[in-house]
Amino acid sequence: MSWDLLLWLLALCVPLAFVVQLVRFLRADGDLTLLWAEWQGRRPEWELTDMVVWVTGASSGIGEELVYQLSKLGVSLVLSARRVHELERVKRRCLENGNLKGKDILVLPLDLTDISSHEVATKAVLQEFGKIDILVNNGGRSQRSLCAETSLDVYKELIDLNYLGTVSLTKCVLPHMIERKQGKIVTVNSLMGIFSAPLSSGYCASKHALRGFFNGLRTELATYPGILVSNIFPGPVQSNIVKNALTNDATQTLCNVGDQSYKMATSRCVRLILISMANDLKEVWIADQPFLSVAYLWQYTPTWAMWLTNKLGKKRIENFKNGLDADSYFKIRKTKHD
Ligand SMILES: NC(=O)c1ccc[n+]([C@@H]2O[C@H](COP(=O)([O-])OP(=O)(O)OC[C@H]3O[C@@H](n4cnc5c(N)ncnc54)[C@H](O)[C@@H]3O)[C@@H](O)[C@H]2O)c1
């Protein structure tokens, strides 16, 4: 082969490789470390067996799907949320579809805002199973209301629930993990913990606070390499989050939630959470495009990201006022995993 031909081939390969990588990135639904872990890393089916996993917000959405997928891995489960009948329903489904027996699942009603109950709840788990391997801080609520129209009670409720409730439960479980020198504290944060959007200023504040808290806690636990502090940042995912969102008044929820079907399938989000848990990933972004790219923009080019968020923000408010889901900016095709 002549040198000219070889050079021409090389000149063609480089842009081709670039285009292939660009297409792969545009189809990505997780950050690159997470997708690498999915491809080459440890499987949840090997790593997460024989563990005691405590999941808050287990009665709905991401938490509910998480316990269904965990129940197939042979772990012991603690299901927490406020409504005991909903937790009993979830337990029945875990037993029907998973590999667990009744004694492997503890239904433990818990209100994250009732901080005085967290110590007793932690003791109840330890009495039942003798250890807590993984705490999944998942329970929480979102917000759909403009700051100027929103009562301060809503901001207080969001901080009490999403931030202080999570911090309180973590503080109850932490001494046990420190004593054993092992454990995983996995917190379902949100892309709204990385950047902010209109209609959710209180929610964003609570999730930013959680990110700061857990990143700080991780540095304090540097002498305990067996304890993982993992922050999961999902973008829009199918669940009841919008239906349960707080509005401008702490006693009201939304009347019209709009179509949620364009969002990432709950099962896909949860599979990626399990992969991150199996591979001890500390920060994980899970989102379809274009939301994932917006997170990258915020991380690496904040000035452009602010400009773009102002443009998209107007559309978000318009969508909300028109009774659509706030994040339905474009007609987004359903993900390949649905
Ligand atoms: N669905 C999304 O688009 C999305 C995106 C990013 C982050 N998240 C986060 O995922 C987590 C789970 O939300 P989801 O989407 O499954 O919503 P969801 O409304 O379907 O589920 C929320 C769960 O939290 C529980 N909860 C609410 N208030 C509680 C309280 N006071 N005490 C105890 N439990 C309480 C609910 O009972 C429910 O089980 C939340 O932390 C949310 O911020 C969701």
Q: 66 CB less than 6 Å from ligand 1? A: no
Q: How many CA atoms lie within 13 Å of 52's alpha carbon, on the beta-carbon side?
A: 20
Q: 145 CB less than 6 Å from ligand 1? A: no
Distance from chain centroid for Cα 7 = 47
Q: Looking at ligand 1, which residue's alpha carbon is closest to its atom 28? A: 140
Distance 72 CA to ligand 1 centre (A): 22
Phi, psi of 289 (to 5 degrees): -75, 150
Q: Which of 173, 188, 271, 163 is nearest to 221 (CA)?
A: 173
pTM exceeds 0.90 for this model? yes
Angle, CA 266 vertex, CA 262 and CA 271 arms, to 5°: 130
Question: Going from the N-terminus, what domains does the chain have, and what CATH number goes with each?
Answer: 32-321 (3.40.50.720)
Q: 60 CB less than 6 Å from ligand 1? A: yes
pLDDT, residue 23, reads 66
In angstroms, the CA 207 to CA 185 distance is 16
Q: What is the DSSP string of 265-329?
A: PHHHHHHHHHHHHHTT-SEEEE--TTHHHHHHHHHH-HHHHHHHHHHHHHHHHHHHHTTS-TT--
pLDDT, residue 330, reads 67
DSSP-derived secondary structure letter, 253: B
The answer to whether 300 is a known catalytic residue is no
Distance 241 CA to ligand 1 centre (A): 6
pLDDT, residue 3, reads 80
pLDDT tens digit at each of 338 positions of the chain: 678 888 888 888 877 777 767 666 677 999 999 999 999 999 999 999 999 999 999 999 999 999 999 999 999 999 999 999 999 999 999 999 988 999 999 999 999 999 999 999 999 999 999 999 999 999 999 999 999 999 999 999 999 999 999 999 999 999 999 999 999 999 999 999 999 999 999 999 999 999 999 999 999 999 999 999 999 999 999 999 999 999 999 888 887 888 899 999 999 999 999 999 999 999 999 999 999 999 999 999 999 999 999 999 999 999 999 989 998 876 554 544 44
pLDDT, residue 338, reads 43
ipTM associated with this complex: 0.99
Q: Which residue has the tokens 């993900």?
A: 335
